[in-house]
Amino acid sequence: MRFAGNVIWFVLGGAVTGLIWLIGAAVFAVTIIGLPLTRAAVEMAKMSAFPFGKEVVHIRELDARELDATTAVTGAVGFIFNVLWALTFGLLLFVAYLISGILCCLTIIGIPFGLQAFKLAGLSLWPVGRRVVPIELAQAAREANAQDRLAAYRRRPA
């Protein structure tokens, strides 16, 4: 089902939205300062072209790093770049995915495609700090993080 869904998605609009992501990546790659946006845009272009079987997770879910000086600075810089992206290409992509999602959900067959479009709409506004991974890896990372948090709660004195 993933393969068929990805092929249909790509033909019916995924190629266009993926191209918009890549254009945004190229625009921000021209400036040295925009390189974090370039990485995020390329990651989201992969997701936009072939979304079935993939999930987007925050980088902290994958590396399980705690808050320290480095993660605080990178988080603040990421926030600034996300705002910059949202004000440029993010809004365009958000509207495109939102319209696409509504149109897809008008038919029963299109509902899975509409759900993917709505997921991508939310991600299109805030891509920096996100990574595209297979669904199984995302579940494993979240499960490992949950186990770590549970172990931390159990170690706390009551």
How far apart are the C-alpha atoms of 92 and 86, rounded to whole Å?
9
Q: Taking the domains of the chain in order of start, what are their residue ranges?
A: 2-155
* pLDDT level of residue 32 (50, 70, 90 thresholds): confident
Residues 6+ apart with CB under 8 A from 61: 138, 141, 142, 145
pLDDT reading at 158 higher than 70:
no
pLDDT reading at 136 higher than 90:
yes
Nearest Cα neighbor of 51 from 105, 92, 12 is 12
Q: Can you give the length of the chain in residues? A: 158
**DSSP class per residue in 55-94:** EEEEHHHHH-PPP-HHHHHHHHHHHHHHHHHIIIIIHHHH
Q: What percent of the chain has pLDDT over 70?
A: 99
Instruction: State the DSSP H helix or E strand holding residue 46, giving kind and residue range, or none if neither.
Output: helix 35-49
18-47: average pLDDT: 87
Number of CB atoms found within 10 A of residue 36's CB:
20
How far apart are the C-alpha atoms of 127 and 30, rounded to whole Å?
18
pTM, to two decimals: 0.78
